[in-house]
Amino acid sequence: MTSTFHSGSVWVGKLRPLWGRMAVSTVLVAACLALVRPAAAQVVPDGDKGGISLTAGGTASGYEVGYGQQKLLGVAAIVDGESRRPLGFEAEARWLMYHETNGVHATTWSAGPRYRFDRGKLQFYGKGLIGVGDFTFPYNYAHGSYLVISPGGGVDYRYTRKISFRLADFEYQYWPQFTFGAMNSYGLSAGIRYHIF
C-alpha cells in the first residue's frame, strides 16, 4: 500500500499540474522582456544592442541528498535564455534516479534568473532558481511534492559558435517544507549546451 506525504503548504501540490504551463509562460515573458529596448534619439552602439539567444543542453549530475545522506547520480535538461546584457534566464529539470538505495530518488523542476560574465571563451555565471521537487521515500512507501530553492553557479566553455561545454555547475538545493524538517542537498554537474539561435 502506498501512502502520500503532503508538504506543509497545500499550494505546492496544487501547482504541480500547472507547472508545465507556468514554465512555458515564464520563458515567453522573459523572451519578450529581453527584446524590449528603450527608445532613444541616438543610435545604440553595436555592443549594447538587445536581442535574445537560446541554448539548450544536458548534464550528468552527482548529488548528496540530505535525507539519509544519500549519494545519487542523475541527468538534467537545461534551457538558457540570454541577451547581450549579463542578465538572463535558466530553466532546468533534474532526475536523480541512479545509484539509489532502497528506491530513494528525487526529481526537480526549477527556473529563475541567471547572471553571467564572459572572459574569452569562458563564461562564468550565478543563478537563483525556484521550483518544485518530487521525492520518493524508501521502498516506494511514500511520495511528496515540495518547494525547492536552488542557488548556484558555474562555468561554461565556448568550443564553437554553436557548442559549449558546461565544465562545472554547482547547485545547492533547499527544501524548506520537507516532511521531516527542512532538507539541504548539493551537487555538481557537467555537460554540453547547443546554441539554437
Classify residue 55: in a domain, yes or no: yes
Instruction: Give the CATH number of the domain where residue 109 resides.
Output: 2.40.160.20
Q: Is 80 exceeded by the pLDDT of residue 167?
A: yes
Classify residue 3: in a domain, yes or no: no
Classify residue 127: in a domain, yes or no: yes
What would the pLDDT profile of 106-130 be if each residue is shown by its tens digit? 999 999 999 999 999 999 999 999 9
Classify residue 88: in a domain, yes or no: yes
Q: Domains in the chain: how many in total?
A: 1
Classify residue 190: in a domain, yes or no: yes
Residue 35's Cβ-count burial label (10 Å; 0-12, 13-18, 19+) is exposed
| Structural domain boundaries, residue 149 | 8-195
What would the pLDDT profile of 133-149 be if each residue is shown by its tens digit? 999 999 888 999 999 99
Classify residue 2: in a domain, yes or no: no
Classify residue 70: in a domain, yes or no: yes
